[in-house]
A and B are shown apart, each in its own frame.
Chain A
């Protein structure tokens, strides 16, 4: 999130282009704001930067450094600095992104999205030992963090190291809002949105509430109750608040459309046609 706390700006250079950016903004957001395509898997405009996917790495050089010396940093976490020089697509950057994608391809051989990203970095086929799995989770943990942001924390990572995985240890807390599944960049969370008035996700089945006048599906009763509770906590009253709070939750879905995820998906869809 590019939160500028003050009106102060800093002057820096990204890929040879000079730019003024608000102090405290992250390189990733500033670069994207300039229309520069920096890939990422775990960054999301609605969530705090996390720095796990290592795809948004860029090379930087601070003023005063030797001319030959550059450092690889994570652009989603690196705040802009005065006089900073940034390269978002150098050979070193591309090589490390290709290794990272190569590793991801070995992890989730069934993910079309990762395969497409890999192709962009010259990796047609993984050079490592593939996992024998249909699972496409890449451990970006957007689902975990979004669920926490919504106020449910039903999803968590379990175990550690290569065995780490995402699950719902707090299944009771799941309200069937589908935010996790809709934000997942690799569609790793299976769900049924509406099957004859029933919704299924995380091995849990929900009823659905429909607006009697319009026939629009409003969500699961658990979801509506959660939204109402949040609304009351904010001193607002049902039903006007429903839309407001719902929009807040939906923000994540809208945000998804802004990110690269959607672009690639559209392209894949076009190619399929």
Chain B
């Protein structure tokens, strides 16, 4: 049943009426079970949990009916996209109360049905432990948890709410209201005006004004303009676009449809990363449905508009997230970037005017059209309006997917929403903007997070990855890690990026091995400057940021590695030694695990490590139950507790 009578919607009005009908029908629903089927929760068994719920509902059908809950009438259950708090998964929520169950196992389905559905009682062990936040205790609803209560969800508005495979669900949540409004009440010019006035800037990294980009394309438009949605999210630790494509594919498509209306585009592509099969599946399902519903194809909603959206899968190259490389890849050529002195709105795909925006950018568009540019622009600060989704990962307590208004400080994001550092260790740095972003130190924690402030501080907004690091992180090692990632992902076309990365890596490697010399830092800096100004594309131009930002804020650590041969974080194997301290009980466990038989001793007496045989693998430290293994670097103990 598509339009209520199985036929495509003939007008915007028919679509809105159908949405209203679904909402009326659903008013009867007293209880809804939402099982999070984000990638993290699926990995931890969400699909089994969902199946278990279905069978429990079946076997308790009689009692449920007696309690006024009948499946598909007054009770509904579904799998949704990512709820965000991946660390607490698998997550199940019960609406309308907002009951929030964490760490759910398939067997818990029975308890939840019997206790909560039938007797209005909470299953206490599954409730979220607030810890030190809000005076401790347990949270009954997710709105009680700062992780959720401090968020404002625009791009993620339907993620975790709708069943991504269910068109009716999306309609009920106000889906396509904005598109219907655009095609029936607004001129294409008015749509662009709204988007420009909202202050929306590209969420993919560069932060270019979306409205201005669209206007630019319209100005040069000849016969046609191509529309591309960039879903080639490749930053390590970033999964915002994935969550949106998997959990709310219709909103991405609606955003593209509004853009197509504004630009007069008839052909569009979504370029999805190879590693996101579920995103491809959900998007394809949605596209097929939209064709049968008369929302894609010819004569959309009876307005005469034509639009076809095709999915193109990337081949696994990070550089194809760069727009010009992505377009080459779409043309069937090798995904190498080209210089963008002639903008892609003039000469993009097939050398024709092309508008390319990121998934999150498109997803914001329907909300702007629906609620108005003023509403969107009222959030955020300065020249960064609206909200931004981030994936919060690393040594932070609440890892997951969040969305906040632009301008929230790093401290609010990491400590209030993220709950602080694991084990309450000292904060050392936060890396923003993906592999070619920058690392910011503790004294930058009060910086507001927006495009321009982050750039000025030597980091960048990027697509929204945020990796939190504690004092057990060596900043030289971090820089080396990201350079190594980029070596694997550089396309190898231009010299500064291809050869420069190799040489920067060699120099960093030398430093972490304790072989650094005077002049190495200066050599790195000179090289980084050329990479930054003389590389062909944004990947190469920003590739040195992990190095330049750590050099800017953690230069003393580099110098320590070079001058004193010390790694204060206790990370670089060549610069550290393991030593057993007086807390040793002589339990022998370390000696049994040591791969090089470097540990000897008499049982129940203090053991010793032979530095000649020790290879600094750290296994002894990880197996010791008494914190009796220290890491020493340059005759100083740098770590007395377990390495996380």
Q: Which residues of A contact B (CB under 8 A)?
A: 51-54, 57, 72-74, 77-79, 92, 95-96, 99-100, 103-104, 106-107, 127-129, 138-139, 157, 159-164
Encoded as 1 (CB less than 8 Å from any A CB) or 0, chain B from 505 to 543 comes to: 010000000000000000100110110011110000000
Inter-subunit contact B499/A104 (CB<8 Å): yes
Could you pull out 8 A-B pairs where Cβ atoms are within 8 angstroms? A54-B494, A77-B341, A96-B534, A103-B499, A107-B499, A128-B527, A161-B491, A162-B498
* B62 CB-CB contact with A under 8 Å: no
A144's nearest neighbour on chain B, judged by CB, is B334
Pick the residue among A103, A129, A161 that contacts B488 (CB under 8 A): A161
Contact in complex: A160, B317 (CB < 8 Å): yes
Q: Does B533 lie within 8 Å of A96, measured CB to CB?
A: yes
Closest to B500 in A: A103
Given contacts A157-B334, A161-B487, A162-B490, contact A53 B503 (CB under 8 A): no
B residues less than 8 Å from A53 (CB atoms): 494-495
Residues of B within 8 A of A164 (CB): 491-492, 498
Contacts of B341 in A (CB 8 A): 73-74, 77-79
Q: Which residue on chain A has the smallest CB distance to residue B503?
A: A128
B339→A161 contact, CB < 8 A: no
Q: Is there an interface contact between A54 and B501, defined as CB atoms closer than 8 Å? A: no
Asked if B342 is at the interface of the complex by the 8 Å CB criterion, the answer is yes
Please state if A162 and B495 are interface contacts (CB–CB under 8 Å).
Answer: no
Check A51 against B339 for contact (C-beta < 8 Å). yes
How far is A107 from B495 in the complex, measured between Cα atoms in Å? 10
Instruction: State which of A78, A104, A157, A163 has its C-beta within 8 Å of the C-beta of B495.
Output: A104
Residues of B within 8 A of A139 (CB): 492-493, 495, 498
Query: Any chain A CB within 8 A of the CB of B502?
Result: yes
For B490, what are the chain A residues with a Cβ–Cβ distance below 8 Å?
160-162
Q: Mark B266-303, 1 if CB is under 8 A from A, else 0.
A: 00000000000000000000000000000000000000
B342's contact among A79, A100, A157, by CB below 8 Å, is which?
Answer: A79
The answer on a CB contact under 8 Å between B536 and A52 is yes
Least CB separation from A49: chain B residue = B339
Number of A-B pairs, beta carbon distance below 8 Å = 99
Contacts of A96 in B (CB 8 A): 529-530, 533-534
Q: B489 in the interface, Cβ–Cβ < 8 Å?
A: yes
Distance A53 CA – B534 CA, assembled complex (angstroms): 10
B residues near A100, Cβ cutoff 8 Å: 495-496, 530, 534
Q: Given the complex, which residues of A lie within 8 Å of B494, measured CB to CB?
A: 51-54
Q: Which chain A residues border B319 with CB–CB below 8 Å?
A: 160
CA distance A128 to B496 in the complex (A): 13
Instruction: A150 to B268: give the CA distance in the assembly, Å.
Output: 33
**Residue contact B495 to A103, C-beta cutoff 8 Å:** yes
| B 1-15 contacts with A by CB, 8 A | none
Find the B residue at minimum CB distance from A51.
Answer: B339
* Complex CA–CA separation, A160 to B494 (angstroms): 11
Smallest CB-CB separation from A126: which chain B residue? B503
Q: Is the CB of A157 within 8 A of B492?
A: yes
Q: Are B503 and A129 in contact (CB under 8 A)?
A: yes
Residues of chain B contacted by A78 (CB below 8 angstroms): 339, 341
Closest-by-CB residue of B relative to A104 is: B495
Considering only residues 460-512 of chain B, those with a C-beta below 8 Å from chain A are 487-496, 498-503, 506
The size bracket of the interface on B is 20 to 34
Does B411 make an interface contact (CB < 8 A)? no
Q: In residues 300-325 of chain B, which contact A (Cβ within 8 Å)? A: 317, 319
A53 to B494, CA, bound (A): 6
Chain B residue nearest in CB terms to A76: B339
Query: Quick one: given A139-B498, A164-B498, are A103 and B533 in contact (CB under 8 Å)?
Result: no
Please state if A72 and B334 are interface contacts (CB–CB under 8 Å): no
B212 at the binding interface (Cβ < 8 Å): no
**Is B338 interfacial (CB 8 A cutoff)?**
yes
Q: Which residue of B lies closest to A41 (CB)?
A: B495
The reply to whether A162 and B536 form a contact with Cβ atoms under 8 Å apart is no
A106 touches B488 (CB 8 A): no
In Å, the complex CA distance between A138 and B498 comes to 11
Q: What is the CA–CA distance of A129 and B499 in the complex, to the nearest angstrom?
A: 11
Q: Which of A107, A129, A162 is B501 in contact with, Cβ under 8 Å?
A: A162
Residues of A within 8 A of B500 (CB): 99, 103
Q: In the complex, are the beta carbons of A103 and B535 less than 8 A apart?
A: no
A153 to B: closest C-beta gap in Å: 12
Asked if B503 and A51 make an inter-chain contact with CB atoms under 8 angstroms apart, the answer reads no
Residue from A53, A95, A162 having most chain B Cβ neighbours under 10 A: A162
Q: A99-B526, A161-B492 are in contact. List 8 more A-B contacts (CB 8 A).
A: A54-B534, A73-B339, A74-B339, A79-B341, A103-B500, A106-B503, A128-B523, A160-B491
B536 CB contact (under 8 Å) in A51, A106, A127: A51
Inter-chain CA distance A38–B342, complex, in Å, is 22
Q: Out of B334, B489, B526, which one reaches A161, CB within 8 Å? A: B489
Chain A residue with the shortest CB-CB distance to B487 = A161
Residues of A within 8 A of B534 (CB): 54, 57, 72, 96, 99-100
Shortest Cβ distance from residue B456 to the other chain A in the assembled complex, whole angstroms: 16
User: Given the complex of chains A and B, what is the CA–CA distance between A164 and B491 in angstroms?
Assistant: 8
Nearest CB in chain B to that of A129: its residue? B506
Q: How far is the CA of A92 from the CA of B533 in the complex (A)?
A: 10
Shortest C-beta distance, A1 to chain B (Å), equals 15
Q: Which B residues between 211 and 247 are near A, CB-CB below 8 angstroms?
A: none
Cα(A69)–Cα(B338), bound, Å: 24
In the complex, the chain A residue whose C-beta lies closest to that of B540 is: A54
How long is the Cα–Cα vector from A157 to B493 in the complex, in angstroms?
10
Q: Does B496 lie within 8 Å of A162, measured CB to CB? A: no
Docked pose: A19 CA to B487 CA in angstroms: 42
What chain B residues lie within 8 Å of A77 (beta carbons)?
A: 338-339, 341
- Which residue of chain B lies nearest to A159 when distances are taken between CB atoms in the complex? B492
Contacts of B495 in A (CB 8 A): 52-54, 100, 103-104, 138-139
Within the complex, the shortest CB–CB distance from B534 to chain A, in Å, comes to 5
Which B residues are CB-close (under 8 A) to A95? 530
Q: How far is the CB of A78 from chain B (nearest CB, A)?
A: 5
Which chain B residue lies CB-closest to A60? B341
Q: B residues 159-215 with Cβ under 8 Å of A? A: none
Q: State which of B334, B499, B527 has its C-beta within 8 Å of the C-beta of A162.
A: B499
Closest to A78 in B: B341
A128 vs B519: C-alpha distance in the bound complex, in angstroms?
A: 12
How many Å from the CB of A4 to the closest CB on chain B? 16
CA distance A164 to B506 in the complex (A): 18
- Which of B499, B506, B533 has the most CB atoms of chain A within a 10 A radius of its CB? B499
Residue numbers in B under 8 Å from A79 (CB-CB): 341-342
Task: A103 to B500: give the CA distance in the assembly, Å.
Answer: 7
Residues in B with CB closer than 8 Å to A107 are 499
Residues of A within 8 A of B334 (CB): 157
For A165, give the chain B residue with the smallest CB separation. B492
Chain B contacts for A157, CB-based, 8 A: 334, 492
Report Cα–Cα, A104/B498, bound state, in Å.
Answer: 10
Taking the nearest CB of chain B, how far is it from the CB of A164, in angstroms? 3
Q: Kindly report which residue of chain B lies nearest to residue A131, judged by CB atoms.
A: B502
In the A-B complex, the 4 residue pairs with the closest CB atoms: A164-B492, A103-B499, A99-B530, A161-B490
Of B342, B494, B495, B523, most A-chain CB atoms within 10 Å: B495
- Chain B residues within 8 Å of A159, by CB: 492
